[in-house]
Structure 1
Amino acid sequence: MLNVGIFLSIIATIAAIILSIFAFWLHQQTKTEKLLNQFRKTRTYALTIQTFGSKENGEAWLKKPHQALNGRPPLVVAQTESGREEVEKVLIAINFGNNF
């Protein structure tokens, strides 16, 4: 018959291993999301520079409130994925001649 103390020790060890695996998995997921987020921001930033022809002009546009974004600056709107999509739609429209 297994001693209760040994049994509890085994259960605690298994739980610690499971928690370690979960923590590692969670860290990897978070790391992947951060990388994807940085890429998306970079893509939006690159489109901004391309649209306005220079880093200075693009960054100035990003900081200025825009009517197509409900009066919010694109830099603020672009903090979320859906916001980046909104900003990119505005940039694409500008590229096609719609000045808003």
Structure 2
Amino acid sequence: MTLEDIKAAVDGGETVHWANEGYQVIKDRLGQYLIVFLGNGSAIGLTDRSGQRLNGREAVFFVSRAAEGPAAGQDGRARLDSATSPRTAPQPDGQG
């Protein structure tokens, strides 16, 4: 998939993956396209800083066979609050 194909698919609500279904391309609330590892929320930009070169080979990106995976929201974006929000420490339960 070309950069334009990937962006169009994500914008159209399709679920796009890189390499395997553990990596998903999302568009965050700032409009940035990111490749996110679903296992822990780690992310890298879809492109280099120039915005022209993919961080990955075109041939390795693909649209998911399932219309919507478990991590996707109704708008096709991944629900990855941990990728965009700071982690919080566990709260004590008051017993101890």
Q: Which range, TM-score by smaller chain?
A: under 0.3
Larger strand percent: 2
Larger helix percent: 1
User: Which protein, 1 or 2, shows the higher relative CO under an 8 Å CA cutoff with sep ≥ 6?
Assistant: 2
Q: Which has the larger radius of gyration?
A: 1
TM-score normalised over the length of structure 1: 0.23
